C-alpha cells in the first residue's frame, strides 16, 4: 500500500478551497450513508432479459414526460431534433452510442457535458428508457457555467426521482414484467450502496488524517480495533476497506463530491415519492437552473419537500434520520425478495 501517495491525495483534498462546502457537510452525508450500509447489503448488478428497440425507448420516454407536462415532452422533442455549435463544428445536441449488453448499468458513460451536449449509451434493453429519462432530466435544468451550491448537493435528486416516477409509469402503462422493471431500482440501490461504502471509508481517512497529520497501516489497524467487533461497520471495513483505499490511490483522488449527490438524491427522491406531488418535481428542476444569487429563496422553496436543507448547509437531526430510515426500509422491502433471489 502506497501510504505516501494516499497522504498526498488526502492533503490535496483538504487543501482545495473549492471543496470546503463538501467538507463542511461531510458528517451529514455520512449519516445518510450509514443508513444505507446498516440496512442494505451487497448485490450483483442485474442484466435485462427483454429486447427493445431504441426507437421504442425514445417513444416511451416522450410519453412519460408528457405525463409530467406538455412542456417537458416538447422540450424532449426539441432537444432530439436540434443542433448546436461545439468547438466550431455543427453537431447534434443529443447523441446515442450503442454498446454491448454486457456493458451494464455499472459501466454507463451517459451524461450531459459542460456545453449541454447529451450523450446516451444504449444496448436495446429496458435500461435505455431509464437512461434517456435520467439524462434528459439533467438537461432540462442545464444552464451553461452554472454549478450552484444547491446543484452540487441536489443535482441527482430530480434524475433519481424521474427514475422512480418512470418505474410507476411503466408498471401502469408498459408491456414489461414487474421483475424486469424493478431491475433498474435494484441496480440503483446497489450503486448507492457502493457510493455509501466509499464515502464512509473516505470520511474515516479524512478524519484520521486530521487527527494525526498522516495515515498509515498502524493508524488504520488501531481504528479498526476500536470498533465494536460485532458491528456491521467492522465487518464491512474488514472486507472492503483495503480495496476502496487502493482505488483512491489508483485514481489519485477522493471522489466524495461526486458520490454524495447520489446518496442525497436517493433519500430526497424517496421522500418526494412519499408526498406524491408532481409539482415538486417541476419546482426542483427549475430551481436547479438558478445560480447562487437566488440560493436563499430557492432553499425556502425546496425546504417544503426536502427536509434536510438547513441554512446554507445540510441539516439532518435524529428525527430526520429515523423517518428516512423508515422510508428506505419500506422501499427496500418492496423489492427485497426478488433482489435476494437473484444474488
**Could you report the per-residue pLDDT of 62-98, keeping only the tens digit for each?**
999 999 999 999 999 999 999 888 888 888 999 999 9
Q: Identify the pLDDT of residue 103.
A: 61
Give the mean pLDDT of 107-128.
91
Of 52-66, 102-116, 129-143, minimum mean pLDDT range: 102-116
Q: Residue 92's beta-bridge partner residues?
A: 83
- Taking only the tens place, the pLDDT of each residue in 294-334 is 888 999 999 889 989 877 789 999 999 999 999 999 999 98
Q: Residue 94's beta-bridge partner residues?
A: 118
CA torsion, ordered 263, 266, 270, 273, to nearest 10 deg = 150
Burial of residue 115, with CB atoms counted within 10 A of its CB: 0-12 exposed, 13-18 middle, 19 or more buried? middle
Give the strand order in the sheet containing 118-122: 94-98, 118-122, 111-112
42: confidence class by pLDDT, cuts 50, 70, 90: confident
- Taking only the tens place, the pLDDT of each residue in 250-300 is 989 999 989 999 999 999 999 999 877 788 999 999 999 998 888 889 999
Q: Which pTM was predicted?
A: 0.93
When the pLDDT of each residue in the chain is averaged and rounded to a whole number, the result is 90
Q: Identify the pLDDT of residue 102.
A: 67
CA torsion, ordered 220, 226, 230, 232, to nearest 10 deg = -50
Q: Radius of gyration over alpha carbons of the chain, in Å?
A: 21
- Taking only the tens place, the pLDDT of each residue in 177-202 is 999 999 999 999 999 999 999 999 99
Q: Identify the H or E element spanning 174.
A: none
pLDDT of residue 6 exceeding 70, the answer is: yes
Q: Identify the pLDDT of residue 82.
A: 92
Q: Degrees (nearest 5) of the Cα angle 246, 251, 256?
A: 90
Sequence spans of domains, the chain: 3-45+182-341, 70-144
- Taking only the tens place, the pLDDT of each residue in 207-240 is 999 999 999 999 999 999 999 999 888 998 999 9
Place of cell 443542433: 83
Q: Identify the pLDDT of residue 57.
A: 96
106: confidence class by pLDDT, cuts 50, 70, 90: low
CA torsion, ordered 254, 266, 160, 242, to nearest 10 deg = 30
Backbone CA torsion sign across 315, 317, 323, 327: positive
C-alpha cell at 112: 450531459
Q: Identify the pLDDT of residue 105.
A: 57
Q: Identify the pLDDT of residue 157.
A: 95
C-alpha cell at 225: 480495533
Tell me the percentage of the chain whose pLDDT exceeds 70: 96
Q: Identify the pLDDT of residue 224.
A: 93
pLDDT of residue 341 exceeding 70, the answer is: no
Phi, then psi, of 213 in degrees rounded to 5:
85, -5
CB atoms within 10 A of CB 148: 20
Measured between alpha carbons, how far is 195 from 155 in angstroms, rounded to an integer? 16
pLDDT of residue 343 exceeding 50, the answer is: no
C-alpha cell at 53: 428497440
Q: Identify the pLDDT of residue 342.
A: 45
pLDDT of residue 339 exceeding 70, the answer is: no
Amino acid at each position: 500500500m502506497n501510504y505516501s501517495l494516499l497522504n498526498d491525495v488526502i492533503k490535496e483534498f483538504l487543501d482545495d478551497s473549492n471543496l470546503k462546502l463538501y467538507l463542511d457537510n461531510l458528517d451529514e452525508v455520512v449519516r445518510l450513508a450509514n443508513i444505507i450500509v446498516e440496512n442494505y447489503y451487497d448485490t450483483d448488478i442485474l442484466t435485462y432479459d427483454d429486447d427493445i428497440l431504441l426507437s421504442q425507448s425514445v417513444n416511451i420516454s416522450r410519453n412519460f414526460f408528457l405525463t409530467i407536462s406538455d412542456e417537458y415532452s416538447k422540450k424532449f422533442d426539441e432537444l432530439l431534433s436540434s443542433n448546436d455549435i461545439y468547438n466550431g463544428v455543427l453537431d447534434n445536441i443529443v447523441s446515442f452510442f450503442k454498446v454491448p449488453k454486457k456493458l451494464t448499468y455499472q459501466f454507463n458513460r451517459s451524461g450531459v457535458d459542460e456545453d449541454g451536449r447529451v450523450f446516451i449509451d444504449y444496448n436495446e434493453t429496458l435500461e435505455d428508457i431509464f437512461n434517456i429519462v435520467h439524462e434528459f432530466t439533467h438537461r432540462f435544468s442545464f444552464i451553461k457555467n452554472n454549478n450552484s451550491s444547491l446543484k452540487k448537493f441536489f443535482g441527482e435528486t430530480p434524475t433519481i426521482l424521474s427514475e422512480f416516477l418512470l418505474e410507476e409509469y411503466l408498471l401502469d402503462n408498459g408491456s414489461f414484467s414487474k421483475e424486469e422493471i424493478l431491475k433498474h431500482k435494484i441496480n440503483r440501490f446497489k450503486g448507492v450502496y457502493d457510493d455509501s461504502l466509499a464515502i464512509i471509508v473516505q470520511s474515516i481517512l479524512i478524519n484520521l488524517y486530521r487527527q494525526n497529520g498522516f495515515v498509515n497501516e498502524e493508524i488504520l489497524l488501531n481504528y479498526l480495533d476500536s470498533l465494536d467487533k460485532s458491528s456491521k461497520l467492522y465487518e464491512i471495513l474488514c472486507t472492503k476497506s483495503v480495496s476502496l483505499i487502493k482505488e483512491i490511490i489508483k485514481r489519485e483522488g477522493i471522489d466524495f463530491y461526486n458520490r454524495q449527490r447520489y446518496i442525497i438524491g436517493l433519500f430526497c427522491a424517496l421522500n418526494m415519492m412519499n408526498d406524491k406531488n408532481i409539482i415538486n418535481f417541476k419546482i426542483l428542476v427549475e430551481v436547479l437552473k438558478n445560480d447562487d444569487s437566488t440560493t436563499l429563496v430557492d432553499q425556502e422553496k425546496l425546504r417544503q419537500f426536502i427536509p434536510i436543507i438547513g441554512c446554507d448547509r445540510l441539516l439532518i437531526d435524529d428525527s430526520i434520520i429515523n423517518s428516512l430510515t423508515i422510508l428506505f426500509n419500506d422501499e427496500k422491502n418492496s423489492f427485497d425478495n426478488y433482489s435476494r433471489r437473484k444474488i
